């Protein structure tokens, strides 16, 4: 597993043995960042169910201003911290060791707003629908921002969830990337960056 573009290109990342953590494949990751290329420089990026941190670290390598990593697994958190150390991006990252659903509520209370959100829950459990709903209803995405959900091809999320609307969908083998944007007629918080899609916390649980 490695970084495929940007400042840390070809840097090797730590990945766990076995199937307890499922990193996004290089094929999917390369396709994702080709689509998001113009959005990443200077972006505020949220990596949910971050696993090894490979997607968020790819964003940092390509110029994202800051990435927030969310995962509740101690093993995953240890790997994320090690991969940030290996790539030298720890100073532009926040690691939240907590459940994704609870973390979204915390981010809302903190007034966080993101330009890009990546959602990669365990396949087949239906988590993506609940997470997308919370992202939309909590106003965590800038108008003009994008939310990307990685799912199994048998469990595609719906075209509309709260104030998010599907704008693009791409399939790579058994994996589907669904791209959502904020509906134009909603009153979502945040600045408007004019970008259009191509088709410490309160309980001390933040780590740098």
Mean pLDDT, rounded, for 104-129? 93
Mean pLDDT, rounded, for 177-191? 71
- What is residue 99's predicted lDDT score, i.e. its pLDDT? 92
Query: What is the set of domains in the chain, with CATH numbers?
Result: 41-182 (3.40.50.150)
Which stretches of the chain are DSSP H helices?
A: 26-35, 54-61, 74-87, 100-109, 127-137
List the one residue out of 96, 34, 25, 18 whose CA is nearest residue 55. 25
Confidence check: pLDDT of 187 > 90 = no
- What is residue 20's predicted lDDT score, i.e. its pLDDT? 58
């Amino acid at each position: 597993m490695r970084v495929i573009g940007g400042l840390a290109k070809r840097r090797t990342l730590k990945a766990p043995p076995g199937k307890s953590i499922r990193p996004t494949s290089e094929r999917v990751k390369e396709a994702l960042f080709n689509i998001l290329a113009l959005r990443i420089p200077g972006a505020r990026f949220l990596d949910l169910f971050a696993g090894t941190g490979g997607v968020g670290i790819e964003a940092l390598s390509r110029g994202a201003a800051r990435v927030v990593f969310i995962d509740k697994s101690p093993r995953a958190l240890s790997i994320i911290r090690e991969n940030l150390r290996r790539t030298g991006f720890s100073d532009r990252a926040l690691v939240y060791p907590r459940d994704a659903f609870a973390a979204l509520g915390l981010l809302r209370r903190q007034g966080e707003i993101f330009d890009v959100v990546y959602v990669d829950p365990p396949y087949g459990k239906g988590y993506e629908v609940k997470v997308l709903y919370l992202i939309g209803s909590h106003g965590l995405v800038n108008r003009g921002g994008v939310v990307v959900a990685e799912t199994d091809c048998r469990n595609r999320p719906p075209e509309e969830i709260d104030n998010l609307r599907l704008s693009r969908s791409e399939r790579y083998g058994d994996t589907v990337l669904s791209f959502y944007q904020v509906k134009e007629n909603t009153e979502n918080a945040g600045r408007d960056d004019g970008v259009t899609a191509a088709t410490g916390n309160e309980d001390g649980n933040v780590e740098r």
